[in-house]
Structure 1
Amino acid sequence: MSEYEHTCMIRGDGGRTIRAILDRICNKWTLLIVATLDQGSLRFTDLHQQVPGISQRMLTLTLRNLERDGLVSRTVYAEVPPRVEYALTPTGKSLIPPALALASWAIEHVPHIESSREAYETRNQ
């Protein structure tokens, strides 16, 4: 998509579509879940154990939203008891490179950001 097409898309709906997608991707748990599932499909319990600090309810809600958005697939196996596995879709996998780039940017800029915060706090006390 060209820069012109990007600009038209943002102006067309006031950026609502992009904000909604970024809200989903940038929430507290999404990238942790996506990064965990990048290593392969997991059952709910295994995923819950590998994402520290997330409640079962928040994991359920986040997985539902990621499934709804086409980033995660949910497979139910007809077994007793039923087995459910979650995996990244191709769209979900395509999120890994930009997420890693953003994480690298954050790591690279932590010292500058922290010193800017300290300077700001000092000026505004």
Structure 2
Amino acid sequence: MIQVIRYSHYALTTLKICPSWLTYLRYTAFIPLYPIGVGPGEMWTMYQVLPFVKKRNLYSGFFKNFSMSYHSFLVGVLVCYPFLWLKLYMHVFKQRKSKLGKRSRKKRA
């Protein structure tokens, strides 16, 4: 859902016909949608695939120069994911403030 909003915004902005409500939606819809996509979407999917990856020894040659399996790599990603995601989530809030803050200042002036 968030990608539909985002790419519609990009396309209409490129054509210089983007309505202000779509800009607002683009920089606001991520607040509830992004955590839903990351938690139940991405992280849960990675967690569910761990037994499959371990059983089949997937990508066993991928880390041939290191003594690490792909399964271990995925576990490490899952441990770091919330911290890295939070940094990205906060960055999008900064983008939101810069885009929507400019609009409200222009209207007041």
Q: TM-score, normalised by structure 1?
A: 0.28
| Higher normalized contact order (CA 8 Å, seq sep 6+, divided by chain length) | 2
- Whichever structure has more strand as a proportion of its residues is 1
- Whichever structure has more helix as a proportion of its residues is 2
Greater Rg, structure 1 or structure 2? 2
